[in-house]
Structure 1
Amino acid sequence: MNIKWYINLAVLFGASDNLVQTYNISKYDICPLYRKGPNLNILDVVGRWMTVYTQPKAVDCFKFQVRATTDLEREQYIIKYGEFGGRVDWNLCLLQVETLAGKHFLMGNGSESGLLENIIIMENKNGEYTLQNHSADQWTLFGRRGSEVLMIRDCYGETAAAFARAPYWPSSTELSAIFHRSGIAVQTRGRLLCEPHEDFRRQQRYAASYSHNTKRNY
């Protein structure tokens, strides 16, 4: 879930179309503001999530689904897309995120303090696949099963968001404590809790504004 991209999309800002460059990278190359934290069991984030809070831009609530990919699917992706010069390791693309804007993959096993790279593949009108350049995120999970809050922090420190496992809805006090424990300062100009409903027509407009002449691949 590229949280910075999705929040920018929600306020009708376009995402970058730059291609990802191929080179040997460390976790600090992937995440310049990498912060040591608890590891993430990636299977714990499988399920449906709803926005609770976003900053610096406040948006209406949206939901997204996280599901685990299968061994067979990952083999098929290797054949269909290739590995983009070694940039994508499909054996580590264990999760897929589904939103109204499309689907993309998360690369990583959660062992580096919840660091997950966003693998977003686009197909142009000639049927050629390109790997988009989007920042990674660090994912942290709080709470008991069924009432978890998922904190996602952009690796450039510009964007943070909290999501609740639907249909759970945390209180503002609980959310403030989670931000404090995460070491993330809540920005007062942001909205503390978004409204617990979805405007599907608006989300569809967001998705349409992003698609233009390119197509996200499933």
Structure 2
Amino acid sequence: MLNGLDITFETVDFGKTDIKETATESMQVDRKSGKARNELWKKCRQYRNGDSFDLRKMADVWQVVYYRLANKLKCFKLHIKQVTPKDQRRYAKVYGNFNDTVSWNRCFLEITSNEKEHRGRRHFLQGTQADKGIMENVIIDEEHCKNTTYITLHRESGDQWLVIGKLMVMRDCVNGDYVVFTKVPLQPRKADIMDALKKFGLDHPNGTMACNVEKSWMKYEEGSFT
């Protein structure tokens, strides 16, 4: 009987020790994740917790389908491609670092658009996997006049990006405006877009449909009932 009590007592003690150690570890993890979130919020005032972020998933051809912006958005496509280490070294040599503003070793993606006014413009996204989709815009314009090339770096606020299934959401770090893109040539249902925005922390989106895809959604949804 005494041996039984001893065994029970020891088991309880070990249990308490395990709980205490687990709680301490949990507190340390919480502190680290809390510190990391604070750093992200410093970079992006409108930062939202989302799914895990993967840079490689952004490399594709996208078309705008839904947005909330101050001005009406034109229907356009984006091609996001990966920047290789060789490209990074070449851009660093050609453009320089603009007084340490640009870190080419952190520019892993380049955006090209089919918009005419952006021809001759280079647009890179600066950030890493650890930044949870918070990417700084590196926008460079080249203007050639006679034998001189003028290079201008445009200052623009960063954005938070997230790929959710076949959709990509971009949210402005300053004012919280957002744009939703779909992989070309897919045409998602409105419900899919709403679900993606909810995953990105936007529970009550009040945006505008783009590129005249609303009729396509209507046909898709009507056809699903027949």
When normalised by structure 1's length, the TM-score is 0.68
Residue 163 (1) aligns with residue 185 (2): no
State the number of aligned residues: 166
CA contact (8 A) 1:107 1:117 kept: yes
Residue 149 (1) aligns with residue 163 (2): no
- 1:127 corresponds to which of 141, 145, 149: 149
Shift of 1:38: 3.2
CA distance in 1, matches of 2:124, 2:87: 12
Amino acid in structure 2 at the alignment position of 1:129? I
CA contact (8 A) 1:39 1:110 kept: no
CA contact (8 A) 1:39 1:112 kept: no
- 1:98 corresponds to which of 105, 112, 115: 112
Give the structure 1 partner of residue 87 of structure 2: 73
Shift of 1:123: 3.4
RMSD: 2.2
Residue 112 (1) aligns with residue 125 (2): no
Q: Secondary structure at the match of 2:101?
A: coil
Distance change in 2, residues 1:121/1:29 (3 Å): farther
Give the structure 2 partner of residue 64 of structure 1: 78
Aligned pairs for 1:166-185 within 5 A: 166-184=184-202, 185=204
- 2:55 corresponds to which of 42, 45, 53: 42
Shift of 1:117: 0.8
Give the structure 1 partner of residue 209 of structure 2: 192
CA distance in 1, matches of 2:198, 2:50: 14
Larger gyration radius, structure 1 or structure 2: 2
Shift of 1:29: 4.7
Q: Secondary structure at the match of 1:127?
A: strand
Give the structure 1 partner of residue 3 of structure 2: none
CA distance in 2, matches of 1:94, 1:193: 28
Distance change in 2, residues 1:196/1:29 (3 Å): same
CA contact (8 A) 1:35 1:113 kept: no
In structure 2, runs of 5+ residues without a counterpart are 1-38, 215-226
In structure 1, runs of 5+ residues without a counterpart are 1-25, 198-218
Distance change in 2, residues 1:193/1:41 (3 Å): same
Shift of 1:71: 1.7
Q: Secondary structure at the match of 2:81?
A: strand
Shift of 1:196: 4.1
Give the structure 2 partner of residue 82 of structure 1: 96
CA contact (8 A) 2:161 2:168 kept: yes
- 1:52 corresponds to which of 65, 82, 85: 65
Distance change in 2, residues 1:86/1:28 (3 Å): farther
Give the structure 2 partner of residue 33 of structure 1: 46
Greater helix percent: which structure?
A: 2
CA distance in 2, matches of 1:72, 1:164: 29
CA contact (8 A) 2:50 2:201 kept: no
Shift of 1:122: 2.4
CA distance in 1, matches of 2:75, 2:151: 31
Distance change in 2, residues 1:113/1:55 (3 Å): same
Residue 140 (1) aligns with residue 162 (2): yes
